[in-house]
A and B are shown apart, each in its own frame.
Chain A
Amino acid sequence: MAGNNNPGCWAVPEVYKHHEQRKVCISRPKYRDGRKAKSVKVYTINLESRYLMVQGVPAIGVMTELIQLCALYGAVEEYRPLDEYPAEEFTEVYLVKFQKLTSARAAKRHMDEKSFYGGVLHVCYVPEYETVEDTRLKLQDRRRYIIRAAQNKAREKEQEQAVSEEPTPSDTTSEKISARHEPTSDCDNTGESSNMGHFPSFPLLPLPPWEHPYYRHGNQHRTVTTEDKMGTLHNVIMDKKQQPAQSPSSSQISSHTDRGTEHRLASSQSSAVRFVPRNAHLENRKRKKEEVAEHSLTDVAGKNEPLIGPKLPDEPKLEMEDESLNTTVSLIRNTMKQVESVPDLKPVEKKMKQRRRI
């Protein structure tokens, strides 16, 4: 019943209250006034979603750039412009569906209120685009994550106690704790034990959407261990982060000073999650691509494949030098193939062209 091609997701989008950018709260006493101006709002799993809406995209045909930017935070499964959604003059609104909630969360955190081709983006979760199945999986994943965290904590405590002294009392506490946890995971998995196999390694979620410098500071080394398991996003970004420093493009970076400071801010908040300046990132990618190209040229001779005549041109493979980008590209390509096989796509294409004319 909860098919992914729910017709509802193509209906005229409605404007909901949670899309609004709330007023920033300015009356907080210093001790609980974070570094970033925030409104008074409570985040729950209901509000989060792997569907994001990006408002304020300048209407100058930068959809590709926007999706590339999104894909830096994780694989994008689908995206489309929300032409019917009320937008400010000369801007567009996009719907972006990530493969994982964690990617959407990272993208929201890094893209919201950032400038993009002269506009300022507003990024919000749009859980109303979820299917019933999306909602179910989101809740299951969250519950599993919390239970795992509780178990890890219990184990940690056990170890700590074991290290400090007397093994006997620690044994009893750990038994108590694990006994308390078992019934829950049982009751959570009733009827969906088959699902369990599909999500054996739900990545540990990064920190919640809000953050407090206080907190970050204290837990740095713990954060790093969590994020090791985050998969593509963090590994990739960690790889690249040394390169901008030594790259000769520093003059380019400094020409975008305001961007630069933003990134510095972001990087000081989190030790591992770094936002690489976009132009530096792209340059990097270009350089790597060239390197790879050179490499493959020299390597051809070494391959012991027999070369028989001219081969038919292969489907051009796009190497984006980034796992999430590659996944995104292949996802999009597959979708396009599916769409192309349907004969009457024409209206959609026309529509997109019209929109591009600014």
Chain B
Amino acid sequence: MWKKSSSDRFEYLQTLVTEFQDTDSDEAKEQVLANLANFAYDPKNMEYLRELQVADLFLDMLTEENENFVEFGMGGLCNLSMDPECRDIILQSGGIALVTNRLSSRREETILSAITTLMNLRTPSSRSEITDPAILQCMLRFSLSESPRLRNLAAVFLQDCCSEEQVARAEQQMQGQQQTAVGIPLPKD
């Protein structure tokens, strides 16, 4: 019985992905994307979502203009990247750069998902890329933010994902005017 229901689930997810690809309506796309991102929260679905290459679908959303697409796609990645196998897939698809670019989003939820995703993507081999000075400087700025959620999450990143020397170096670079633009919100058109 369980076997049957699990294949039902796969089919359902497949229908969602198909609708996402076929529809021309942005509204429907947003709804399906949010659905898929929420399905990614439950570890029971990870296997199916991997098979359906939903990680790549989410990554594609990060370069969209529509900010809802970006927010939902990033939320989906945040959920997916908790799973070690999905994390590896995201890393292979060049996820770090795409996610890092969205640290400059104007939406807090997008930024929060991006930070958590970056923390999830940390592996022995990706560590150097994730502790890039540009990202650390960005986290230092976030840690001074007025939003408590952003401040806390940036603090966790700085305390857990990199060494104190790395933070100190990033701080020096910030004072020495070698600032990067990562994490500075984009201007409104």
Contacts and interface: CB of A to CB of B under 8 A. Distances in A.
B44 A219 contact: yes
Contacts of B124: 183, 187
Contact residues of B: prevailing secondary structure: helix
A245 interface: no
Contacts of B120: 143
Contact of B75 (A18, A42, A135, A150): A42
Interface string B79-101: 10011110110000000000000
Interface in A20-77: 25, 27-29, 31-32, 40-47
A32 B16 contact: yes
Interface residues of A, number: 54
B44 to A, nearest CB: 7
A158 interface: no
Given A132-B156, A143-B82, A183-B124, A32 B31 contact: yes
B47 A27 contact: no
B24 to A, nearest CB: 14
Nearest to A129: B148
A180 B89 CA distance: 13
Given A46-B149, A136-B160, A218-B5, A207 B71 contact: no
Contacts of B78: 44-46
B31 A207 contact: no
A196 interface: no
Which of A132, A136, A145, A210 is most buried by chain B, counting CB atoms within 10 A of its CB? A132
A45 B43 contact: no
Contacts of B8: 214, 218
Contacts of A187: 122-124
A130 interface: yes
Contacts of A2: 155
Which of A17, A43, A127, A217 is most buried by chain B, counting CB atoms within 10 A of its CB? A43
A39 to B, nearest CB: 9
Given A42-B34, A47-B109, A219-B2, A181 B84 contact: yes
A42 B2 contact: no
Contact residues of A: prevailing secondary structure: helix
Nearest to A8: B148
B31 A28 contact: yes
Interface stretch (B111-119, B134-142, B168-176): B111-119
Given A128-B149, A184-B123, A208 B42 contact: yes
A182 to B, nearest CB: 10
B32 interface: yes
A149 interface: yes
Contacts of B156: 132, 135-136, 139
A311 interface: no
Contact of A139 (B84, B109, B116): B116
Given A153-B43, A210-B38, A219-B5, 20 more contacts: A28-B31, A29-B19, A32-B16, A32-B32, A40-B30, A43-B41, A43-B75, A46-B78, A47-B109, A130-B148, A135-B155, A150-B84, A153-B44, A153-B46, A191-B160, A192-B160, A208-B38, A218-B2, A218-B8, A222-B44
18 contacts: A32-B32, A42-B38, A42-B72, A43-B38, A43-B75, A44-B78, A44-B79, A44-B116, A46-B112, A47-B109, A128-B149, A130-B149, A139-B156, A142-B82, A180-B84, A180-B88, A191-B160, A207-B42
